[in-house]
Amino acid sequence: MRRPRVSWMTQADDRILETLEDSGLTLSPRILAENTDYSRHYVSRRIKKLKEAELVEKVGDGLYRITDRGRDYLSGDLDADDLQLDND
């Protein structure tokens, strides 16, 4: 499986998306940080970017889940062009 790579993405983004997908849960940045070995502050910054790209969605006060688009990214079904952000 080959995932598209764009300049704004980091290895942490994959780990966050994989954790959301594998758990099947709605999670907070704090819980994601605990399960990915990144700081809560860093996870929060990455979640903001992932939300901009519509790979995750906010579903409550500080709670996030992966979107169908995020699942498509993980499975390699998105093109890199689909992941460009306006401020990229």
Q: Identify how many contiguous H helices and E strands the chain contains and give both numbers.
A: 4, 2
Matching residue, tokens 């688009």 = 69
Sequential pLDDT tens for the chain (88 residues): 578 778 899 999 999 999 999 999 999 999 999 999 999 999 999 999 999 999 999 998 999 999 999 999 999 998 878 888 776 5
Expressed as residue numbers, the domain containing 18 is: 11-73
User: Which pTM does this prediction carry?
Assistant: 0.91
Would residue 78 count as lying in a domain?
A: no
CATH of the domain at 48: 1.10.10.10
Task: Assess contact for 54 and 17: CB atoms under 8 A.
Answer: no
In the Cβ-directed half-sphere of 16, how many Cα atoms lie within 13 Å?
34
Phi, psi of 23 (to 5 degrees): -80, -30
